[in-house]
Structures are given as structure tokens and as C-alpha cells.
Structure 1
Amino acid sequence: MEEERKVAGIYIRVSTEDQAREGFSLGEQEEKLKQLCDYKGYEVYKVYCDAGISAKDMEHRPKFQEMLKDMKDGKINYIVAYKLDRVTRSVRDLEELISQLEKYNTYLVCDRDDVNTSTANGRFFVRMLTVLSQLEIEIVSERTKFGLNGAIKSGHLPGQVALGFKKDGNRKTIIDPATAPIVKRVFDLYLQGKTFLQISNIFNEEKVLNKNWKDTHIERIINNRLYMGDYEMYKRLKEWKNVEPVIYMNVVDPIIPRYIWEECQAQKIINQRTYTRDRVYTFFQKLKCPHCGKIMKCKGSGGKKRKYVYYNCEDCHENIRESYVEEEFKKLLVNY
């Protein structure tokens, strides 16, 4: 009876330079695995290499996905790796992988971990190794979060320093006497009834900090809880991934009293309720800047030119008249 061919796909991966220094370099993995295949009598079909990619999941590793496709196409029936954590560190992904291996009569062999999924004991051993590997990742993650929480509570904040603050010699966030008065003035002007745009125009006329102030700059200052002493983490992730922000209270000395910040938030809600558009912008939120691709804002002329409506890109300073857009849109409809 003819012996079944054992065709192997060698999978190698490194995610960081540290792994390469610890003996997990791509070259060393490939050399040792080719020796293993030669010893076991495996025919090497291809070497699949994911360089600088984490084992967090299987979906975002292009060469790993290519290897799985070759397995499904019957081109390989063995997957050979240096260690199990080169393949996956996720219990969920491992269960899915073992299911795929069984479906396509393919086996996983790991040199350093003495893994072989061709037996029930081998599959059990693989699951145990992955559980321990994931436990290690979660422990490290918890320690990292604990250390970050402690740093934030002591005033060592990550990221760029907000206007009005600076870092001292110990990298702690403290009030900057040179710029803090600008922040106080923003809040004062807003409570006096000035809009974001009006405040930015005042600062541009006075050449405050010699920068080009925009209404969005003023809005960010008004919304920043740090100015009353609180640090808000994951604020942007709330919009992108629906992750609730974490608020650390009283981590830095406040530039403004807490009641001032809260009054400004209340005033902002009032302004939003009372604001109504007195123009109709046909292409509102529908036009992108031809240079940078950013959604263009609506802009209307005043005085005698009040009838003219424009769409503006804040970054590229591109202005497009609505009448021009209408003409081009009509041409498209006619030619469609």
C-alpha cells in the first residue's frame, strides 16, 4: 500500500525585535523547521512568513491566511511551526484552527513545544498550552493597566500636553503659567455669550500665540475636562468603537473651577437648542474636498452677497460655490 505523502507548509512569524533577539528570528525558525521536516520525512511545499505581526488574531495575518487556503485546496496536509505561540495565542482561534485541521485532514506540528495534533492527547496538550499562553497575556495586560492607572492618578498623563499645562522634570503634568490665562479667557468669553467662531476670530485678530485659531480649537478647550482637574480616557473610542470613557477625577491642579466648566457645558446645550439655519444647504455633509477628501463645511456670504452659498474645507482652504456644484450635478444627470 502506497504511503500517504506528507506535504508541509512551514509557518514562521515574529512580532517584535525582542523576539528576534531571544532566538525567534525568522531565519533561525526557517532553518530549524526545514531540518525538522527533513528528519520527519515531510516534503516542504512552501514557507509562509508573517514579519512584524502579532498573534493576537488569525484574520490579520496575510501569509497565515494564504497557508490556510492552501490547506483547504489540498496542497499541504501538515503545518509546521517553531512554537505554538507563533501560530496563535487565542483559545478561540485555536479551537477554530483545530476544527479546520480536522475537517481537511491536516496536522499541526510545533518543534519546541513537542506538539502533534494527529492524536487526541496531542490536541488536548495544544489546548492546555494555549490556555496558559492566553493567561500570561491577560496577566501582563492587567499589570500594564494597573501601572497606567497609578501613573494617571499621580498626574503622569499619556499623550500630548493640553494648552495651559506643561511637564515638570518628573514628567508630571502641571499648570503652565504662560498659557493658562489663555484657557481661562476662553471660558470667560464663552460665558459672556461669545461663540466658538467669535472667540477664534478675537484670538486671530490679537495674534494670540501666533497661531491660526479655528472654532474647533475653542470647542476642544471648552469640552476638555482636564481644565477642571479630571482626565478622560478613551474619549475618542466612544465615537469609534462605542467604548465608554473612564474618568479620573482631580488628577491635576485645575485651571478653572469645576462650576465654570459645568456652566459652559450647560451654555453649550442652550446654544445648540437655539441655533437654527436660516439657509438651505443642498449639499450639506455630501461634498468632499477634492484635495484631502475631508467633508466640506457650509458657508454663506453676508450683506449684498447673501444669496451666495459656498462649501469650504478648513484644512485646504478650498471654497466651492454651490451654484457651480449644481451645474456640474445637472451635467451628470443629463449624461447618466
Structure 2
Amino acid sequence: MNQTVRVAIYARVSTEEQAEYGYSIDAQLDTLREYCKVHNWEVVGEYVDRGISGKSIEGRYELQRLLRDAQDKMFDEVFVWKFNRMARKNIDLLHIVDLLEKNNVAFRSLSENFDTTTSMGKFALQMMGAVGELERNTIVDNVKMGHRQRARTGKHNGKVPLGYRSVKIDERGRETRIVVIEEEAALVLNIFEQYAAGHGLKAIANDLNHRGHKTKTGKTFSTCAIRDILDNPMFVGKIRYNRYENWAERRRKGKSSEIILAEGHHPAIISEELWEKVQLLRHKKSVMPKKRFEGEYLLTGLIRCPECGAAMTASRTVNRAKDGTKIVRMYYSCGRFRSEGSSVCHANSVRKDEAEKIVMKRIRDAVMKPDILKKVTRSVNEHRLGRIKPLRDELAAVQARIDKLEMKKRKYLELYEMDEIDRSLFAERLNDLNRELDTELTRRSKLQLELRDDQAEPVSYELVRSLVGRFDALLSRSPFPQRKTLLHLIVKRITLDDRKRVGSVELAFNEETEKHFLSVAPSAESTAEGAFPLSGKAPRLTQNLTITI
């Protein structure tokens, strides 16, 4: 007798696809369920990512849950309506399918009519994936071409900066006009005038923050925000486009050599003369030598400010003794204070050498003293248990909101079927409800994933000892660059108490860091208290683990 095929259905639709092409999650699910029913396949799970783009795995909690369930052998096959529901990029699609195959799980697409259990199916997947990515890239290129043409004709693309707002001039909202917001424009003019008068980026940010001003997104001003305003030619009546290519993947590394600069249709906020003066100063300061701090700062960005929680960065003071000798003292100081000024936070400086010494000693003590490590292990397990009830309560609240929204949808459908509600009003309300429902369903998926991690078996003392011990052994024998890399990979954050002393060191281990950086188990001195000569294979980490010491 043939064994019943256990199938997991996966469906996804982005908000744009749903609005523009009318793609429906329910239609995908109904089609896949019916096909499984005809072929006597058992649907053991449905995984649905609603209103989420397929350009990456990040944020797709149902896909993440599906991949974990595949590792737990909960089904034999993953079934999708179209292959591009799984991933938009060919490399991501192949990676996902490879992960499924390693767990003996087949991948099948209904529309393309292939499955990966055959050689031809694998070949078809690769070809269709390449074609799908070509289609996506063609659409992206066409959109970029349109944006470039708009820029060449003096029209703005995307969000407008401080001082402006975009106003729709047609019913469909495709044509817009840029107008000046007088209050914000006065602020932009003040920023340019201050810089032209010789004030630095931090001094300007500090002044604006003290006066209670906010950026376009409602945040306090930083040196980066001031710099971006001073470098934006839109304020002098020009349109700049294509500074960076593929910003989502490459960020500032994708600097383009084909920048478009054209006269805009929008009004200028500052004069050409003031713009040129500021740009001259910007150029002069850009070629000035940057400050260079002597010494090796291990914990930059890891220590958190005890006042505002921002990352602390390298700083120093230089004084002279009575005999004229230069005395240099090195610290870690609040990054927000250094960037945004005293209205936002204070320096809260801690001595560099003292902080680094305490952190390294804290890690070593955890390895060498069993009582400390046992307490740490107990704390890890208690924390995980303590998280379960709040997560369950939140999950219950989310589920209640989902049920309420589903009930509302049914009521509106009943009213529509009874001709008691206008069609356009029904469509508008249904869209609103679907958006709210997508948000709640995504939140439910995320909570279910978090609960799954926290409900795993308790963490063992041997595992914690192995991880922290291998980490310490690598730190003790590595040169500075590797030591700093290891710390930034493993240390999640270092907190300070109210007296600016190291309070806790939070270590975050996961399968990737454990596999690639802590896989070789170093042996310890057998005479040391609590030492563990690890011979053979060290305990393997199968979940994300946070340890506070």
C-alpha cells in the first residue's frame, strides 16, 4: 500500500501585488487544497505570509516556520501555486529548495507543473527561477528608467526632504507638485546660515535639539541629518537622482558614477550664493585630516549608554602636566551625545582600559568558576520560562483580534449579499479589514516562532560551559583584529549601572556563529577550577541562545 504524501502548502502575496494584480491568498489556498484533495495528499500544514514582499526571507515568519518544520520532518513535500511565491530571487529560491532537499522534502509548483524529485524538475526550477528573476529585473529597470526620465525633466522621485511636501494634482495621485512648508523652510535656511557662519555639524544639531526642533521623520537632529541637508541640491532648486544604485542591497557602497542633476520645477529655499559658500566649506573640511585616536578600542558600539541606551563610541581627552608632558586618556562615550549634543544625552564616559578589563574578566570568571556558570545557566532557563506566559498572553490577544476582524468581514459580506451596502463602500471597507488582518496574522506568526524557541528543552550546563569556554579560549589567543571581530559577533550588548560600572555582558550564540567561529573546541588547563578539557566533538547548538554574565 502506498504511503500517503504529507504536504505543506505555502502561499504569499505582497500588498502591491494584491492591489495591482488582484492576487488573492484565499484563491491560492483553495486551488492548492483542491489539487491535494484530488490526488489524495494529506495537507498537514498551511503557511501563509500576507502582505509581504518575496525579495528576502527576513520578515517572512511563516516561511521561517516552514523551514524549521521541514528540519523536524513534519511533511514530505512543499506545494506552492507559483514558484515565485517562495522567492523572487533565483539564488534565494535555490537556497530554500536546497535546504528542503537536505531534509528529504520535495518542492512542487502547481502553475509550472514541476517537482524537484526529478532531475528534469530541478532543471526546470533553475530555468524558471532565472526567467522569473529576469522578469523582475526588467520591471525594476523600467521603473528606474521612468524615474531617471522624471529626474531629467526636473521632477522629484520619492520622499521629499525637510522644508517641502508633495501635493497631488490629479485624482489618481500619479501627478504631484512640490510646495514649500514655510516653518520647515526657515529651519533649513537657518542650518545653511549657521554652517556658513562657521558652526560645525554637531554644534548645529545641538542647537536645533535644544530648541526642540525635529527632523522630517520626527527624530532629533544628528550630525548625519545636518550633513544630508547641507549636501542636498534640492534646496537650491535642483533635482539630484541616481547617487546610489541598488540601495536596498548595497547601501552607500553602491555609489553611482552617473548622477543626474537637473533644474527642478519646485521653488528653491536658499540662494545660489549661500549654496556655493556652504559647498566650498564642505569641500575644505572634507579634505582636512580626520581625528585619529591612538589605541585599540575593543568595545566600540557594544557598551550601551546608561542614560539613553545608545551605543558608546571611542573618545579621548588630552591634557598637559605641569612639566608640559602630554597626558592622553581614552574613554567610551555616548554616541548620541557626540552626534546630537547635550540636549539629547550626556557623555557618560567610562575609562577604556577599565571597561575592557572588567568585560574580559567577567567572561574568564564564568569559565573558571562553576558556581557562576551554574547560576548563569539557571538564569537563562528561568528567563526563557518567564517569557512564555507574556508571549502566550500576547498571542491570545492577537488571536482574539484576528477572530474579531474575521467576524467583521463575514458581517460585511452578509450585508453585501443582501444588497444593504454600496459596492464601492464594501470594497473599501474590505480592503481596510484585510490590511489590518494581514498585520495581525504576521504578528501571530512571529509570536509562534518566538514561543517555539522558548519552549525548547532547557539549556544544559554543559552546553553553556562549552560555548563560553570556547569563546574565552579564542579571545585569549587571538590578535586584536580577530578579538574585536569575535566580540562583535558574540557580544550583543554591555550595560552600565547607575555608577557607570559594567553591569552585565549579554552574549548571543546561534548556529551560524557556533559553526563558523566556535566549532573547534579548545582544551583548557586541567588544573584550573572548573576547566573542561574538551576532547572530541563539543555539544552542538540547535537554537538561538542568549547568556547574560
TM-score by length of 2: 0.45
Larger relative contact order, structure 1 or 2 (CA cutoff 8 Å, min sep 6): 2
Q: Which amino acid aligns with 1:328?
A: R
Report deviation, 1:211: 5.3
Choose 113-122 or 134-143, whichever is displaced more: 113-122
Report the more deviating stretch, 167-176 or 51-60: 167-176
How far does residue 126 in structure 1 lie from its aligned partner after superposition?
A: 2.8
Write the letter of the residue equivalent to 1:248. I
Give the 3-state SS of the residue equivalent to 2:263 in structure 1: coil
Structure 2 contact 202–341 (Cα < 8 Å) conserved: no
- The secondary structure found in structure 2 opposite 1:329 is coil
Q: Distance in 1 between matches of 2:61 and 2:182?
A: 51
1:38 is displaced (CA, Å) by 1.8
Q: How far has the Cα of 1:220 moved from its partner? A: 4.7
Tell me, in whole angstroms, the C-alpha distance in 2 between the residues paired with 1:332 and 1:67.
39
Map 1:149-168 → 2, pairs under 5 A: 149-157=148-156, 158-163=158-163
Aligned to 1:303: none
CA contact 1:156–1:171 (8 Å) conserved in 2: no
> Which structure 2 residue ranges, 5 or more long, are not aligned?
170-174, 215-219, 294-298, 318-332, 351-495, 505-548
DSSP 3-state at the match of 1:159: coil
Residues 161 and 91 (structure 1), Cα distance of their counterparts in 2 relative to 1, 3 Å cut: closer
Name the structure 1 match of 2:263: 251
- 1:235-282 deviation digits (Å, cap 9, x = unpaired): 796995533156322333683246434322144348x659999xxxxx
Aligned with 2:262: secondary structure?
Answer: coil
Amino acid at match of 1:160: V
Q: Summarize the Cα distance change of 1:69–1:150 in structure 2 as closer, same or farther, 3 Å threshold.
A: same
The answer as to 2:274 corresponding to 1:264 is no
Describe how 1:274-289 pairs up with structure 2 within 5 A.
none
AA aligned to 2:240 is Y
1:224 aligns with 232
- Alignment TM-score, normalising by the size of structure 1: 0.68
- Tell me if structure 2 keeps the 8 A contact 1:191–1:267: no
1:315: how far off? 8.8
Paired residue for 2:8? 9
Q: Tell me how far 1:133 sits from its aligned partner.
A: 1.6
How far residue 87 of structure 1 moved from its aligned partner, in angstroms, is 2.1
Correspondences of 1:191-202 after superposition (within 5 Å):
191-195=196-200
- Which runs of no fewer than 5 residues in structure 1 stay unpaired? 278-282, 301-309
Deviations 1:103-146 (A, max 9, x none): 44432222233223333333333333222221111111001111
CA distance in 2, matches of 1:260, 1:211: 25
The 1:203/1:292 distance shift into structure 2, 3 A limit, reads closer
- Are 1:197 and 1:214, in contact at CA under 8 Å, matched by a contact in 2? no
**CA separation of 1:11 and 1:231: change in aligned 2, threshold 3 A:** same
Q: Is the 8 A contact 1:187 1:260 kept in 2?
A: no
Deviation at 1:147, TM superposition (A): 0.9
Offset, 1:173: 4.8
Amino acid at match of 1:255: S
1:122-161 matches, cutoff 5 A: 122-157=121-156, 158-161=158-161
1:7/1:44 contact within 8 Å kept: yes
Inter-partner Cα distance in structure 2 for 1:116 and 1:131: 16
Question: Residues of 2 paired with 1:39 and 1:131: CA distance?
Answer: 31
* Pair 288,70 (structure 1): closer, same or farther in 2 beyond 3 Å: closer
Identity %: 21
Aligned to 2:90: 91
Q: What SS does structure 2 have at the residue aligned with 1:328? A: coil
Between 1:244-253 and 1:230-239, the stretch displaced more is: 230-239
> What secondary structure is seen at the aligned counterpart in 2 of 1:250?
strand
For the Cα contact (< 8 Å) 1:6–1:43, is it kept in 2? yes
Alpha-carbon distance in 1 for matches of 2:192, 2:20: 52
Any residues of structure 2 matched to 1:31-110 within 5 Å, and which?
31-58=30-57, 60-110=59-109
Conservation of the 8 A alpha-carbon contact between 2:188 and 2:229: yes
State the Cα distance separating 1:221 from its structure 2 match.
4.1
CA distance in structure 2 between the aligned counterparts of 1:72 and 1:288, rounded to whole angstroms: 37
Is this contact kept in 2: 1:289–1:318, CA < 8 A?
no
Say whether the 8 Å CA contact 2:151–2:239 is kept in structure 1.
no
Q: Secondary structure at the match of 2:111?
A: coil
**Alpha carbons of structure 1 residues 167 and 260: separation in structure 2 relative to 1, 3 Å:** farther
Offset at residue 203 of structure 1 (A): 8.9
Name the CA distance, whole Å, in 1 between partners of 2:90 and 2:221: 49
Q: Equivalent residue for 1:329?
A: 500
The residue type paired with residue 222 of structure 1 is L
Q: What is the aligned partner in structure 2 of residue 293 from structure 1?
A: 309
